[in-house]
Structure 1
Amino acid sequence: MLNLMPSLAGWRPAASGERCAVATIITASGSVPRPPGTSMLVSESGEILGSLSGGCVEGAVVASALEVMADGGTRLEAFGFSSEDAFAVGLTCGGELEVHIQPLDGSAAGLGALRKFAGGDPERPLALIRRIDAGSGKTELPAVVVVPDPGSFRAAESAELASLLGLDALNLDAEAWREALLAAAAQLEPLLRGGRTGLVRLAPAQGCSGVPARGAQGTEGVVQPTEPVTLLVESRLPQARLLVFGANDFGAALVPAAKLLGYRVTLCDARPAFSAQERFAAADEVATGWPHRYLAAEAAAGRIDSRTVICVLTHDPKFDIPLLQEALELDIAFVGAMGSRRSHRQRIDGLLEAGVAPERLARLHSPIGLDLGAVTPAEVAVSITAELIAARTGAAACIPLRDGSGPIHSLPAGGTEPAISHQPALNKEQASQEIAWT
């Protein structure tokens, strides 16, 4: 549902408090147009905000949404491709979707909880937690819990989450209440802090046999259902950072390629004459300073987190060794360094001499990139970003260069050396800006 937040403030039915239903993709497999978490709003007057599939299933979803608003229940609809029925509602691309549809009114527990966060900065941290099991249709439960700061959310301390889980209606002592929230926290918080979308299934707080619960007037004896509680978690964090160390041709090619993947990119180099070049203007930040000192300062300031990526392209031991020594001590997503297999062996020797533990060295992606046969800076940038995607998704279809053998670069068919641009020569004024290597 986070995909709707930028447009929600200007949507007339939301502004007027009109009853709506929200349809959300909760599982997807195969080739599908949109990922889990994508939502579409349908008002009782038939107005629509958002899209789930680009047209394949929208008509059927709208019909179900109107029925949900009429009967007040929830629905779970499945859509796929049917080769037997040419007129069946489904996805022509061959994928499969499960779509959860639930009513959402204009109250403080429904759309009202979202409106104050609508239309804001799309990079602002925000998370939504919704209950989508059969119990989610209960009118006494909130429709959504809004988490303004996913990185610091403490599930065990959230009264709103306890209400969403229905703990208010159960005869639980303080210890059982806390255990239920801690069980939720163990699954919720990694998704929230990782900026990810996913389903969380929790065993009922009352256990398998059920626990007597209070009725509407506080009477005892109502046994709650024992089916799992299912939560849909959507979390959005600021852009993950990618730090490129090395103001050279390869850095110039990697900066825009990394931005295409959604990273906030910083280019850092110790040499002002190189880092100041216009070709690095696409970077979100350009820093001039010794790489290891810059990284240490950023980590101390709390601007490095578990999603941060570091790509070392300096190809110079006086930069690489202290920088990698610093980087390998951090809890980050990826550390990679460019170079030949010979320079990689020398780099490993240097890091071992510097006191880096062998288990830390196992985290180093060196030589960086997938084995695509890349030669030019642009091709190397594709190779590096390909490995970043593979590392992030866990895909193993291609071989990282660090796991291969033989020459990294080979000549194309015909044996002609490819044209590679080189660093422009420095004039005297630029050369005078070079720092002294001490």
Structure 2
Amino acid sequence: MTDPAIDAPHIDAEALRERALTTLTTARTRTTLLTSCVEDPDLTAQHSPLMSPLVWDLAHIGNQEELWLLRAVAGRDAMRPEIDGLYDAFEHPRSERPSLPLLPPAEARAYAAEVRGRVMDLLESADFHGTRLTQAGFAFGMIAQHEQQHDETMLITHQLRKGPQALTAPDPEPVPLFTGPAEVLVPGGPFTMGTSTEPWALDNERPAHRREVASFHIDTTPVTNGAYQAFIEDGGYDNERWWTAEGWAHVRKHSLYAPLFWRRDGKQWLRRRFGVTEVVPPDEPVVHVCWYEADAYARWAGRRLPTEAEWEKAARHDPATGRSTRYPWGDADPAPEHANLGQRHLRPAPAGSYPAGESPLGVRQLIGDVWEWTASDFLPYPGFQAFPYKEYSEVFFGPEYKVLRGGSFAVDQVACRGTFRNWDYPIRRQIFSGFRTARSAGDV
């Protein structure tokens, strides 16, 4: 599929080269921190059957970079063809990966570093025209996004890891308790969903298309821990009426009673966060809830989860111009005042933070802090075409997966924008997932 932005004749090669260099370097700096802050036994151990050993992620990052940049783009021979199968995410489920003959930590680091060195040489003379893969530096952007996605995955593994604290980061700036309106009205009408002009957008974000959305109200901020505690205290986990049949069966089977990592201590709730036990802060967005929990809370509150189209309209539609912007605040890349991204903090910021990042309608924290569950299944857009491989998106389309939007504190800006789509099973709680609720305009 031809993309008009990528086919633009006037490509600033030096600007693209600098962007690719910056995003690749930023990703590798984070990868290095996540894999150097613990000893080798923690790198090779599997801290949860839901996650790979950290050392697998490290070598997988290098292998994908070699596969797409050195082989597919540069046409070079495989450096270590014997390891391709070990690091093919579709060949071995995560639960089996510890039993594979994986590269040990020192060898995995050396392999990833050698690949990166060759990629840096390639980048110096890269042609940003030519094939669809190379136009506008797409392949470099795809690999930077891939590494940052695994950096988020590795941070999830760190959260699941038992033992003392290994990662630290400053907390977000404190803000006054948010006293603005609880919800915002998003007027009905058409808007442009998806993109055909974002050079590094992935296949499931494409193509741009018109979508009609009826008027609805959406929460100004994500649902907070304090609000979610009210659901718990009201017996939300014990009342079948709030749950779908599948959700209720899941709650009963696994004895769920609160978000993952929470436990009650007398009259207060505590949580474990990256090796530290702390009192649950009431004004932070709730995190580590599955889709079933988010949906049940919304029903209890007399509301519902927003659809994916509603979420994107709230995040991108500017009613003054009728345009869909790249981000809620406009087209500019995220800056620290806009959103909590990039693992610079290891927790969500308090609800109501980042007024500079709000949408034209006044909705806050749509980007960063927590991935937000939507009501929608993960499905292709009209005119979707898989690129550059079906296994990125196409094999996941269907009702088994629910869409999450907006990114979290753990994701970098290169892998987060107003059109970016994430997806997971509705039972997943180890991810940095929260939500906000909505209601149709005619509902009371």
TM class, shorter-length: under 0.3
Q: Which has the higher contact order (CA 8 A, sep 6+)?
A: 2
Scaled by the length of structure 2, the TM-score of the pair is 0.24
Higher strand share goes to which structure? 1
